[in-house]
Structure 1
């Protein structure tokens, strides 16, 4: 993949140089010269598209179940949308992935996924599909206005909020911990509210035998797990401490933002010190691993490194960056490498397969007693 990116990047550089030559060379200012410049521009665009978005097939699942998919829109009439000024209620598009061929009266554990900042509910589709193939049901949320783009029930397309983007851009826990804490509390309130609302809605529909969605018939509400990436990971860590019906939590590189109670006189965060109430797996990349004991917002993560046990586990995946923990590395390995600051060194497919194996093993142990 790296060789392919180098070849395409080199081709783009040569095509760009030729385009500039065609534009500024006086002898080319004739119809044939303009055609040459136009064709070189089109070639540059095509090469750029191949570089940024190579066509990659879905990673094959290893389980025995085929996969079905259903969409829903959940509107929370108890909350007014934070990032809109029209007084509308907060609406959350969700997608379920579940085993296609169900055995009679068979119930499957439910896994809820929360994406990172600017992500989308399909951000870790490779992981969802693998879990479903082994007998899990996965539901993923588009956190409206905090995801890159989503479409609401009435067909309205909603992009990421400019206000939220400014909040993310201004966040500096090292220099402005008090301001960061305000942002953390706001984000956790919104996102934890989203997850609690979605889980409660699903549980209510299952208990009422709601037939609006086929998937409701197969959900085992006594076995619920949570997975999240980045800001979504922080959210599920908070919900896992808050609810008593969560069997397991997996965080893909995220600080315990919901555990921050205050800031002391030295500018350090004051974290919740109580034991974590359920099985927990933290997965890290090169983006954070060496800084867990240095970054203020990751102090709780460093504490959990020293509490390794059967139910508290930490995994470090070397040779990858933060965005390599998502499927973004499949359609655009070059952009992933740029966003990861050069941390990405491993093959994207191999990395995602390894994440699948780690997560599946952990969930099987604590949700299926395997």
Structure 2
């Protein structure tokens, strides 16, 4: 089942994870808007300029899980990191072809298909990284989405002093560019209604994460930059579910965040002590339509938080709300404004990581705040829907 996001052009289908609890369609917000022109992502809030580069990796120890003709798993990994370089060419958000395939695959026809390739980012392309032994955050996107849809969060974390490794899980997105320039499409999309699809995806992504950590540790340029004892994973939708799977499988992943994703990985019945945070839309309130968080909350025996944002929907934890104007789309009435959803997501994710990878006390995570009235801490202070 696909998820629906209500927009000005009626009901535009955004291909999202079949493995995530669906958000019910909201009322039509009115006629289509005129696209506003290229979107600009909000500036990072940290003290450091941000650089970015792409790495291409091939895991010859296993075949591709989706392509029977591929005897190795190829991955594109985008790194964001602190730099001293403030000037230089800003990295593209995605290529023209990637933008076209993503918008076509998502059923979005309210703007030219190259629109997302013209989105303005903040990171300097191939800038020289600075720092030693910085904490590492692995990012995993939602099903059918490239990791570029988490760029705003990645840039903000890099500006705060983290190295961020965003993984494009090949054939699970509408478009992934490989090392030879080929753009491959979503082969997994044909299987998303199969029994056991969710567990299959998260286990495959956990294997991707372990391989990427192995490779980063073996490349001299990056091994000195990264503190291998301070690694966390953050994911949206099925990427959030994959964070649980990766933490269970790989001891190097010390902490994790699931942003609005139904979970599938089996947590040990005896409990799981690694720090973990759920952050999501009201569908994830206790007793709501998605019961996976209720189930797994009981098995999380270490530091944990369960946060719900009023007015959020499934895409609020991605860049998509920030891009709606450029796409000629209008948010539904009552939706959390795009700038505010980005601000809250950045703040709570960074607070979690600062606490667990940098050992810094974070009052933001201690309970409700009058400065963030949209945020509810569950299950103690939230009711049922």
Q: TM-score, normalised by structure 2?
A: 0.68
Structure richer in helix, relative to its length: 1
Q: Structure 2 vs 1, CA of residues 105 and 232 (structure 1 numbering), >3 Å: closer, same or farther? A: closer
Match of 2:303 among 298, 311, 317: 311
The answer to whether 1:232 aligns with 2:228 is no
Please name the residue that 2:156 is paired with: 130
SS at match of 1:278: coil
Any conservation in 1 of the 2:259–2:280 contact (CA below 8 Å)? yes
Aligned residues of 1:333 and 1:348 also touching (Cα < 8 A): no
CA contact (8 A) 2:241 2:261 kept: yes
Report the counterpart of residue 167 of structure 1 in structure 2.
Answer: 191
- Aligned in 2, Cα 1:333/1:233: closer, same or farther, shift over 3 Å? farther
Deviation at 1:88, TM superposition (A): 3.2
CA distance in 2, matches of 1:360, 1:354: 10
RMSD: 2.9
Matched, 1:331 2:323: yes
Cα distance change, pair 274–334 in 1 and its aligned pair in 2 (3 A): farther
Contact 2:76 2:177 in 1 (8 A): yes
Residue 92, structure 1, aligned to residue 75, structure 2: yes
Tell me the residue number matched to 2:139: 113
**What secondary structure does 2:352 align onto?**
helix
Deviation at 1:131, TM superposition (A): 0.8
- Structure 2 residue 343 is the aligned partner of structure 1 residue 353: yes
Gaps in structure 2 of 5+ consecutive residues: 1-6, 11-30, 85-127, 361-385
Structure 2: how far apart are the matches of 1:183 and 1:220? 34
Q: Is the 8 A contact 2:257 2:278 kept in 1?
A: yes
Partner of 2:352: 362
> Cα offset for 1:294?
5.3
Provide runs of 4+ in structure 1 moved above 4 Å: 102-105, 304-310, 333-338
Higher relative contact order (CA 8 A, sep 6+): 2
Indicate conservation of the 8 Å contact 2:143/2:173, yes or no: yes
- Structure 2 residue aligned with 1:187: 201
Partner residue in 2 for 1:204: 218
Match status 1:59 vs 2:35: no
How far, CA to CA, are the matches of 2:197 and 2:240 in structure 1?
16
- The 1-side partners of 2:258 and 2:69 are apart by 34
Gap change, CA 1:167 and 1:336, over 3 Å in 2: farther
Query: How many Å apart are 1:346 and its aligned residue?
Result: 1.6
Other-structure match for 2:108: none
Q: CA deviation at 1:130?
A: 1.0
- How many positions carry a matched residue from both structures? 291
Q: Contact 1:319 / 1:343 at 8 angstroms: preserved in 2?
A: no
Contact 2:135 2:357 in 1 (8 A): yes
TM-score norm. by structure 1 comes to 0.71
Distance 2:149 2:164 in 1: 13
3-state SS of 2:248 partner: helix
Gapped runs of 5+ residues in structure 1?
Answer: 11-46, 172-178, 260-270
